[in-house]
A = this chain, B = another copy of it.
Amino acid sequence: MVLRVGILGATGMVGQRFINLLDKHRWFSVEALLASGRSAGQYYKDATSWYLVEDMPDDIAGMEVQGMDPAITDNLDLVFSAIPSDIAERAEAEFAERVPVFSNTSTYRMHEDVPLIVPEINPNHLELLKIQKRERGWDGFLVTNPNCSTIGLVIPLKPILDNLGIEWVNVATMQAVSGAGYAGVPSMAILGNVIPFISGEENKMETESLKILGEFNGDEFNTANFTIFASCNRVMVRDGHTCSVFVRTRDDFDVDQLKEILRKFRGEPQRLSLPTAPKEPIVVMEDQNRPQPLFDRDIGGGMSISVGRIRKRMDKVMRFTCLSHNTIRGAAGASILNAELAYKKGLLRGR
């Protein structure tokens, strides 16, 4: 059975990536494209400035964009959301009253009863949905995925935390312009330049990571107990966020052991063979020139995190460089993997 999917914010850059990744998906079929009033009523191909290098699927091109009316959910089994955070508070709640919503938007991520999921890390946090249901009384539910800069960091941190413990993390990012949306970074701002600030980004990395790495026993939620300190920079790269990461662990390690820990890491998506799951969540690179966004962002279909330049300089302190595709693993792909996990866990069904 194929579930019927709607995309909120279908014309934006992340919306386009949802369409691209859901094309020929085994479980989900895009049945509704929803966007703000201006686009509603137009064919999708006329309503959007398609920015992806990959072609727009033909069947999508001729679909009519609809306004964001929750009544549409009568014909939908779930909804993906890529709408701006300022309108998400109301809109996502209206949809979640009726159907499961998988959101890439930041608005609800840090709410106590909203799961912030990375399926390789904290699939059991989906149990927060019981609390969510009790407190909000929704027929549907709302599951979120983290910020594009958070996810590339938190996936390599997971096996390190589990195996070695973590005392602190310092991370400097070099983020792609697509992370700011199509018109987010003027060429006048970034051509031959670095911008050492991205509004709200450092806070997201520092707080979301600890929620994701936190523990939930069904009753009580404990965020992870270490400090992340982030410095977020914009660089002239199209897609792919690169991070220089410094970590102090609780236990000492050697570099070969650390590489092994990262290489062997697998999670629920791999065990369940979810359609969008990469075989290796973390790809360890030995070439000292890698990872590079231009060459490595698409590894694992854009769902793997590439980790290289692993170095130890003193006891318990490591440095590595990690790279993630910010609109795939960092946005649409993350939401889809969450929905695939929910499906396998029996939380989704056709109506």
**Which positions in A face B, CB cutoff 8 Å?**
13, 51, 53, 168, 170, 172, 174, 177-178, 182-197, 206, 227, 229, 231, 233, 235-238, 242, 244, 246, 288-295, 298, 308-309, 313-314, 317, 319, 321
Contacts and interface: CB of A to CB of B under 8 A. Distances in A.
Contact of A237 (B183, B185, B194, B317): B194
A313 to B, nearest CB: 5
Identical copies in the complex: 4
A238 B172 contact: no
Contacts of A168: 314, 317
A190 B197 CA distance: 22
Given A170-B246, A185-B187, A237 B192 contact: yes
A158 to B, nearest CB: 21
Contacts of A236: 187, 191-192, 235-236
9 contacts: A172-B244, A174-B235, A185-B187, A193-B295, A196-B289, A196-B290, A196-B291, A227-B317, A235-B236
Contact of A244 (B183, B185, B231): B231
B194 A289 contact: no
A96 B290 CA distance: 40
A196 B244 contact: yes
Contacts of A290: 196
Given A184-B186, A188-B238, A194 B293 contact: yes
B174 A321 contact: no
Contact of A231 (B172, B183, B292, B294): B172
Contacts of A182: 186, 188-189
B237 A197 contact: no
Given A170-B319, A193-B293, 7 more contacts: A51-B188, A177-B188, A182-B186, A196-B244, A196-B321, A227-B314, A231-B244
A349 to B, nearest CB: 38
Given A186-B187, A189-B187, A235 B194 contact: yes
Contact of A238 (B192, B319, B321): B192
CB-based closest 4 A-B pairs: A172-B172, A172-B244, A231-B244, A193-B294
